Amino acid sequence: MDRLKMDYNHMMMEFVGKAGISTTDLDALAFQAERAVRAMEEKRQAGQMDWRDLPYQSEEILKDILQYVSEVKDQVEAFVVLGIGGSALGPIAVQQAINHPFYNELPREKRGGYPRFYVADNVDPERLSALFDVIDVTKCLFNCISKSGSTSETMSQFMIIKEMLEERLPKEEVKNHIVCTTDAEKGNLVKIAKEEGYRMFVVPAGVGGRFSELTPVGLLPAAMCGIDIRALLAGAAEMDRRSKEPNWRKNLAFLYGALHYLAMRQGKNISVMMPYADSLKYIADWYAQLWAESLGKRYDNEGHEVFVGQTPVKALGVTDQHSQVQLYTEGPFDKVVVLLGVEEYKTTLTIPKLYQDIPSLGFLGGVTQNQLIQTEQMATEYALLKSGRPNLTITLPRVNEFMLGQLLYFFEVATAFTGELLQINAFDQPGVEEGKNATYAMFGRPGYEEKKRELEMRPAKKDCYIL
């Protein structure tokens, strides 16, 4: 069976010197780590980590999704996700990982008969307007994803598109172009969906946005693009089995969290995610939200100010060897670099034996680009090692649904475990809520009058600081 692997040799002091982690550091973490292991299990048993059970969700849910896809996929030219945060980043990451990198440009038969795929994940008016230049809204299916139904960005897009559909289609046909993914009972969107007769899929009540990719939030868009969602969940289930290992030193996800926790204590407050495969490029984007929003917290569980967290940075090998690695090898000792590699790519491309009379080019002749990207990954690993910069490597045998399920679930468990070590709530986002509330207040949303008064009392800007 294909299994994800993690090599953390170059996190250790015996390889990278004083910037690394010693075995003494790991031994000294035993009490905290064992407490975190117990807390993870207790919370799961108490139903406080519902996302841990997503790999085992009912066959009824999967059949419902697949049946719906079968019924509608031939009736639309494009499937458009309206979402933000995890509702957008997860579907984008899975689509990029599994399907052709130029999926939308392929003729329909080469897409397996599935519609084109777009994600509208921002409220930049230029971008949304540009989307309407390449799609016919009357031939699209729009998937509005919002658990609360009050996400301003997503719901503003929904309202614009709903009006467009109503202007161009008979009223009774509009509902065939909208599908909602939301809470089963609470919020605006479930109410709208029921009143308008929209097809609806449910986000489990106990699952937050950044942990929702293995719910219909991610499974419906994946299935709509021909991705094997059962294999995705099977991979997650395999990683869950590995994550039940009680010995944290032998538990892949727990050890990843422990290493990053120790690195944070040393002042390494930046986590670089650097995939060496274009298929995994957007895993780094998805990981950035998961890691930043879960671990960046002002208060610990006892209410003490701690200001913890590690800033995630996205990079892509080999591309960013030419833009970022200079900083990683010779800049501040404030980073952990995670290299994400692949053993077997989906295709092999051989470099022709040209320019044999030019030594600086001739050596490439007959080499595959597969060998080149893997060798460059090892070269980056060596450059980091030589400069004493902690790094670790996660390797997938190949990129398919089963392995992707393992990878997503691995990072989720590792994030939750790191939160336990930091003794914070990894599942809230009060800093995000502050920005949301300020937006609501400035637009005069009812119930936010006090917040509006607070905003009106903020210090006035000084002209002398504006050029």
Secondary structure (3-state) at 363? coil
Between the CA atoms of 263, 267, 271 and 272, what dihedral angle is there, to the nearest 10 degrees?
A: -110
- Catalytic one among 18, 171, 322, 461? 322
**DSSP letters of 406-432?**
HHHHHHHHHHHHHHHHHTS-TT--HHH
Mean pLDDT of the chain: 96
Q: What is the mean pLDDT of residues 229-256?
A: 97
Indicate the pTM of the whole model: 0.96
Q: How far apart are CA 73 and CA 68, in angstroms?
A: 8
Question: Predicted confidence band at 253 (pLDDT cuts at 50, 70, 90)?
Answer: very high
Q: What is the mean pLDDT of residues 41-62?
A: 95
CB neighbour class for 453 (10 Å; exposed up to 12, middle 13-18, buried from 19):
exposed
Q: Quick one: pLDDT at residue 441?
A: 84
Using the predicted structure, report yes or no on whether residue 150 has a pLDDT greater than 90: no
Using the predicted structure, report yes or no on whether residue 328 has a pLDDT greater than 90: yes
Q: Quick one: pLDDT at residue 22?
A: 97
Q: How far apart are CA 187 and CA 264, in angstroms?
A: 38
Q: Quick one: pLDDT at residue 442?
A: 87
- Catalytic one among 43, 100, 175, 436? 436
Q: Which two tokens stand for residue 130?
A: 């540009």
Taking only the tens place, the pLDDT of each residue in 255-308 is 999 999 999 999 999 999 999 999 999 999 999 999 999 999 999 999 999 999
- Catalytic one among 293, 381, 401, 412? 293
Q: Which two tokens stand for residue 250?
A: 């032998």
Q: What is the mean pLDDT of residues 428-456?
A: 87
What's 396-409 look like in SS3? EEECCHHHHHHHHH
Share of the chain above pLDDT 90, in %: 93
Q: What is the mean pLDDT of residues 189-210?
A: 96
Using the predicted structure, report yes or no on whether residue 30 has a pLDDT greater than 90: yes
DSSP class of residue 352? P
Using the predicted structure, report yes or no on whether residue 440 has a pLDDT greater than 90: no
Question: Predicted confidence band at 91 (pLDDT cuts at 50, 70, 90)?
Answer: very high
Question: Predicted confidence band at 334 (pLDDT cuts at 50, 70, 90)?
Answer: very high
452 is catalytic: no
Q: Quick one: pLDDT at residue 99?
A: 98
Question: Predicted confidence band at 157 (pLDDT cuts at 50, 70, 90)?
Answer: very high
Residue 452: HSE in the Cβ half-sphere, 13 Å Cα cutoff:
10
10 is catalytic: no
436 is catalytic: yes
Q: How far apart are CA 157 and CA 44, in angstroms?
A: 36
120-124, 298-302, 449-453: which has the minimum mean pLDDT?
449-453
